[in-house]
Amino acid sequence: MQKTLLIFAFLIILFSSSCRKLVQDEFEDFNSKITINSIIVQDEQIHLHVSLTNGLGAYELSNINNANIEMYNQDSVLLNFNYVEKGHYISDYIAKENDKFYLKVSVNNSIVSSSCFIPDRVNISEFHIIENAWVDNEGVLQPKINFSIINDLSKDLFFEAYILIYDENVTEVIEEYPVLFFDNFELETDIISKSIKISHHFYSNNINNYKYQLIIKSVDSNYYKYVKSFENYNLSRFPDFSNAGIVPTNLFSNINNGYGIFCGYSQTLSDIKAPID
């Protein structure tokens, strides 16, 4: 009898532990928010995109064609914006180094705000390419770049570096090669030097005849935080075995009461150079 009761109790526990709770696919009402996207580039006109966030079932972007845009620079100059199309606005103001911008956008009764800064252009003190510097997994000799830039110890600086690879006659850009993001934190030297291996994504008999150009972007902190969060965001969406345990990450936003990114950068281009032996 006791054995029968134990078996009966075990079956009750087994079936009760396997019960599942029905979860309804009803979500709270989604409140749309203003989304601003603008990356301001030194020596170029300012572009601004305004839209509204949508719910999970939406397939089209809700662009805004009647936004009230107020943007000032550090001299309290009001920038004029003209509507182009599909939520895209453009100003005839040309951004400059050390410009500071203050933004307020209103749509109906909602208001968002933000600010950003255009840093000084960086000085490239050295840039050269070593032709056959290392061997990849396919046994192909690959180049390496070395570059140095001037550091300003009085400021927190953020950088993005990438390479344009040209054909032999410099008539066509064959590849845009992203190099790295870096900053000057914890550096106490007047020069920042980097050495980066280049792995060509193509193979050609003329690979040693290619020309290279270094581009250094001096970016504001908002740009830097956004790009780093975008890397983590993509890793959390499409993790591989090495980062399967990564925690999901939201994209960085500096839009108060809304979403998006408002940031800027200046950039310096090196001379176009051939590799050295």
For 247-266, write each residue's pLDDT tens digit. 667 889 999 999 999 999 99
Angstrom distance (rounded) from CA 137 to CA 170: 29
Kindly report the average pLDDT of the chain as a whole number: 85
pLDDT of residue 8: 46
Task: Report yes or no: 258 and 34 within 8 Å, Cβ to Cβ.
Answer: yes
pLDDT of residue 14: 45
pLDDT of residue 18: 47
Residues 6+ apart with CB under 8 A from 261: 36, 37, 38, 39, 222, 223, 226, 252, 253, 254, 255
Report whether pLDDT(127) > 90: yes
Place of tokens 């078996």: 7
Angstrom distance (rounded) from CA 231 to CA 201: 20
Strands 259-269 and 34-41: parallel
- Mean pLDDT for 188-194 is 95
Report whether pLDDT(200) > 70: yes
**CA nearest neighbour of 263 among 222, 228, 225:** 222
Q: Which domains does the chain have, with CATH numbers?
A: 34-117 (2.60.40.3780), 124-223 (2.60.40)
Burial state string for 266-276 with b = 16 or more CB within 10 A and e = fewer than 16: bbbebeeeebe
- Mean pLDDT for 8-15 is 47
